[in-house]
Chains A and B, each alone.
Chain A
Amino acid sequence: MLAADDHRYRRQSLFPPIGLAGQRRLGAATVAVVGCGATGGATAQLLARAGIGRLVMVDRDLVAEDNLHRQVLFNESDAREMRPKAEAAAAHLREVNSQIKIEPAVAHLHAGNIDELLAGTDLVVDGTDNVATRFLLNDWAFANTIPWIYVGAVGGEGMLMPVAPPHGPCLRCLLPEPPPPGVLATCDTAGVVGPVPAAMGAMAATEAIKLVIGAGEREPRLRSIDFWHWRVHTIALPVRQGCPTCVEGRFEFLEAQPGSRLTEICGRDSYQIVPRDCGSLDLAWIASRWKGGNQTRSKSFIRIEEGGMRLVLFADGRALIEGAGEAGRAQAFYDRVVGA
């Protein structure tokens, strides 16, 4: 087994700072990639190729046509079939590397399931597109002393910072509080140049390899890259005085009670509803009693279309609703389907 592995990875282990010892460490490591879209998909692909022994991939979303210009793990049929990103990514990566463990989770990461979903990971890489999940990851990393890599990409720019608990700086030294909705540019308001998140994902994968084999920077730096104008800037971010996470060890995002929440996703007239009680729904039963509108089923969700709205319901009670126009209408549609 080792001989085959050695051959497969030999161009990588030939690089002296990695070597055979480093390659073995990669094979023994578990890395979680949270968010399997543009940055996360690129990271996950390169880590699978690099021979990370166990890859956990968490994503809450479905593949859509407007993902294809930048999300390198998906193809047109994934978008047509609206496959869950985590599952489509896992299927793709199993063809890339059949010798590693790939564990997809179609889920919205929150305070109530993060311990379970990230159990046993040595490192977490950020592939998310939102600040709330990053604040949760930051708290979780310090509560469990597990390193994570913050990665962001929007427009023609990217940003990356490895965070290495128990030492700061951390995400909240950079951004003390989550900004109110609408303040930060998103891929839906500012657009995104397709290769930019992929390039950031490749950098994150490189940092992940370094961290796994113990070759990470002693004092991690914040790196900001404007690909469009070629400005690369490195910042020695100081630990922020009184930082709740890395200085005071208060983990308010980790301790938040997961309540029923309705959030707007990426401004593309799409809402997500995460119910308070994350028990398991009987999708077959819900599908059988629904009499209105068209419905289709797959093994992990049901999809119901009615009056220009489209609802995708997962077994954990979470739903994505498109075409509702406003939050109340989305919630009402959900309540009618689920019977809340």
Chain B
Amino acid sequence: MNDVQIRINGKVREVAAGTTVSALLQELRIRPETVVVEHNRKVLSGEEFSATTVADGDELEVVRFVGGG
């Protein structure tokens, strides 16, 4: 499968074409229930993580919930 180039939090990353947001989070070892994900500036709901695949040039912002204080 071809790789596509995306940006995650501003950093370029190569991922396999057809990768879902869920798979990407798993690859990054991020628990999906603790983050907000924006896909091309649109906030995804938790259910959309597994239904959304990334394409070349996509921008993802993965914002982790901050618990301390």
Residues of A within 8 A of B (CB): 35, 37-40, 126-131, 151-154, 157-159, 174-177, 179, 183-187, 190, 192, 197, 222, 224, 231, 233, 235-238, 240-241
Query: Counting chain A CB atoms within 10 Å of each CB, which of B31, B64, B66 scores highest?
Result: B66
**B26: interface (CB < 8 Å):** no
Q: B residues within 8 A CB of A237?
A: 36, 43
Interface residues of B in 10-37 (CB under 8 A from A): 10, 31, 33-34, 36
Sample of 10 further A-B pairs with CB below 8 A, known A197-B68, A235-B38, A235-B43: A127-B69, A151-B69, A153-B66, A157-B64, A159-B66, A184-B67, A185-B68, A186-B67, A222-B36, A235-B63
Inter-chain CA distance A3–B34, complex, in Å, is: 50
Interface residues of B in 24-69 (CB under 8 A from A): 31, 33-34, 36, 38, 43, 45-46, 61, 63-69
Option from A37, A158, A238 in Cβ contact (under 8 Å) with B66: A158
Contact between chains at A128 and B34 (CB < 8 Å): no
Inter-chain CA distance A179–B43, complex, in Å, is: 20
Query: Counting chain A CB atoms within 10 Å of each CB, which of B10, B66, B67, B68 scores highest?
Result: B68
**Complex A-B: 25 CB contacts under 8 Å:** A40-B69, A128-B69, A129-B68, A130-B67, A131-B67, A151-B69, A153-B69, A158-B66, A159-B63, A159-B65, A174-B36, A174-B65, A179-B31, A179-B34, A184-B67, A185-B64, A185-B66, A185-B68, A186-B67, A187-B68, A187-B69, A190-B68, A231-B10, A237-B36, A237-B43
